Amino acid sequence: MEKLSLHRPIFIIGFMGSGKTTLGKKLSRLANVPFIDLDQRIVEISGMPISDYFELHGESSFRDLEEKTLKSISPDTSAFISTGGGAPCFSDNIDWMNRHGLTVYLDLDAKVILSRLIASDRSTRPLLSNMDDKQLLSYIQDKLAERSSFYKKAKVRINPMKLSPKNILELLVTETQSM
Ligand code: S3P
């Protein structure tokens, strides 16, 4: 495909395990535009894995660094950007993303998220590393309830299991054209 000109960043938001990075990479390949993983940027800036950062500096310091890293992205960046699950839920980050780009919420229910997280390597996610599978479901339900008012501020809300990456891309391109 010819390189798509988005003119704006497209921020992919949603709970841990909702597939933000996987989808972002697919969309960026399809559209031939860059992909940025916000967590990966934080790892590069801090020089350590996120779990080490949490352990060494605590969550509040991580949220400051997350906000700074997010807001260092220029509004004219043409890229898909996957954000950490908490990124839209702290400070004014979701409003900032809505002002500067297009936000897409990957909306999955707690049970689907649970099965995905069980299948993933939880040690890389500091908020989940000490939890067994039973605790995990109630944690996801509680956190989703707490975070959903932020997630729902996204301009576009999709269930990524019901649409192909190609259909999602078409939808997003249409949305960016009307911005
Ligand atoms: C977090 C999600 C993680 C990472 C950090 C905190 C959260 O990103 O930013 O561990 O608060 O939900 P993923 O959503 O990519 O796992």
DSSP letter at 124 equals G
Q: How many CB atoms lie within 10 A of CB 147?
A: 17
Q: What is the mean pLDDT of residues 18-29?
A: 97
Q: For residue 2, what pLDDT band results from cuts at 50, 70 and 90?
A: low
More confident residue, 176 or 165: 165
Closest-lying ligand 1 atom to the alpha carbon of residue 21: 15
Centre of ligand 1 to C-alpha 1, Å, is 31
Q: Which residues does ligand 1 sit against, CB inside 6 Å?
A: 16, 39, 50, 84-86, 125-127
Beta strands in 102-178 (DSSP E): 102-106, 156-158
Express each pLDDT in 57-98 by its tens digit: 999 999 999 999 999 999 999 999 999 999 999 999 999 999
Q: Whose CA is nearest to atom 3 of ligand 1?
A: 84
Q: What is the pLDDT of residue 65?
A: 98
- Given the CA of residue 143, which atom of ligand 1 is nearest to it? 12
Q: What is the pLDDT of residue 58?
A: 98
Query: Could you tell me the CA-to-CA distances from 172 to 61, 113, 162, 169 in Å, in that order?
Result: 33, 23, 15, 5
Residue with tokens 């999602």: 168
Ligand 1: centre distance to CA 126 (Å) = 8
